[in-house]
Amino acid sequence: MKSFTYERPTDPAEAAAAVARNPNAKFIAGGTNLLDLMKLQIETPTHLVDVNGLGLDTVEPTPEGGLRIGALVRNTDLAADARVRKDYGVLSRALLAGASGQLRNKATTAGNLLQRTRCPYFYDTAQACNKRQPGSGCSALDGVSRSLAVIGASQACIATHPGDMAVAMRVLDATVETVDAGGNARKIEIADFHRLPGDKPEVDTTLKPGELITAVTLPAPRAGTHLYRKVRDRASYAYALVSVAAILGKDGRGAVAFGGVAHKPWRVEAAEADLPKGAKAVTDQVFAGAKPTHDNAYKLKLAERTLGAALNQARA
């Protein structure tokens, strides 16, 4: 690990300013992803801005009937919150499907949204990776791509977003709140928060340099059965090959988003009208533009069957 300097601001705008004025600075909270990347020298910040003292660690009701979740609320606390368990079960289930108890105790809401891909070529510094080193190429294109993206990818990158929480946030239509170095607040719809790789896969989100997440807001609860189904190679310490976050009525109507298939949580709202017709009618539309590799073409059928299982569970 390379040496770095460190500070602990007490105001969100001050924290944003500290990162904005130093292109090699990073925010740190739980550190469950950043510290691993620093140890591998994939991330090499020269300055860390610790945001744990900013007081952004509460879950509060909104005037619209939703919830405002502070950026520093730990995953364990959010999953266990009585209001989340009652009204946003898909979010609680997604959080509990991720990582381990020890990591959930440290990981934060904002950090979970910002975690970087677990593509093996991103983590192997001996391999070419445009996300890690722009312009170096993508070894995954001709490599082992079993766990990687089937849709929304590009010739520059076929990595996937590794998280569970963001998939649930996508089906809930969450909004990300931020503040910049000048103290200006901004709201970003979760659908617009994560980027597709295009020709700049090193840029994961639409955040501006130094912009700090302060909260995530959920709208008023949506009725229906809240489900999160995650298919992975083993029961823990494994990322989704395919996951489905769904809010479904007994008639099959509702909302659905997929994880493990793209550079961001994948949802096609227009396809949801066909949920009563069954999983295939939906996934044929959701993955209409899919370009799987030989290794990961199985994900298309797996997504259909995982959604089908969720539909059957909701009807029951």
pLDDT tens digits, one per residue of 271-284: 999 999 999 999 99
Which pLDDT does position 156 carry in this prediction? Answer: 98
pLDDT at 187 (0 to 100) = 98
Q: What is the pLDDT of residue 252?
A: 82
Using the Cα atoms of residue 151, residue 152, residue 155 and residue 160 in order, give the sign of their dihedral.
negative
Residue 135's contacts (CB-CB under 8 Å, 6 or more residues apart) are none
Q: Which tens digits make up the pLDDT trace of 4-19?
A: 999 999 999 999 999 9
Q: What is the pTM of this model?
A: 0.97
For residues 274 and 280, give the distance between their C-alpha atoms in angstroms, rounded to a whole number.
Answer: 9
What's the CA gap between 115 and 42, in Å, rounded? 13
Q: If we measure between CA atoms, which residue out of 158, 164, 144 comes closest to residue 294?
A: 144
The whole-number average pLDDT for the span 39-45 is 96
Residue whose C-alpha is closest to residue 78's, from 64, 98, 58: 58
Identify the pLDDT of residue 316. Answer: 86
pLDDT at 116 over 80: yes
Q: Are 167 and 212 in contact (CB under 8 A)?
A: no
Average pLDDT over residues 142-148: 97
Give yes or no for residue 1 having a pLDDT over 80.
no
Residues with Cβ within 8 Å of residue 133, at least 6 apart in sequence: none
Average pLDDT over residues 106-122: 98
Q: Edge-to-edge strand order for the sheet containing 5-7?
A: 5-7, 47-50, 25-28
Determine the pLDDT at residue 269: 98
Mean pLDDT of 144-150: 98
Average pLDDT over residues 160-175: 98
pLDDT tens, residue by residue, 254-303? 999 999 999 999 999 999 999 999 999 999 999 999 999 999 999 999 99
Tell me the pLDDT band of 251, cut-offs 50, 70 and 90. Answer: confident
Q: Could you tell me the two tokens for 148? A: 């990687």
> Which domains does the chain possess?
5-52 (3.30.43.10), 225-315 (3.30.390.50)
Residue reference for tokens 């080193």:
133
Residue 190 pLDDT more than 90? yes
Q: Compute the chain's Rg from CA coordinates.
A: 19
Report in angstroms the alpha-carbon separations of 185 from 16, 205, 243: 11, 17, 32
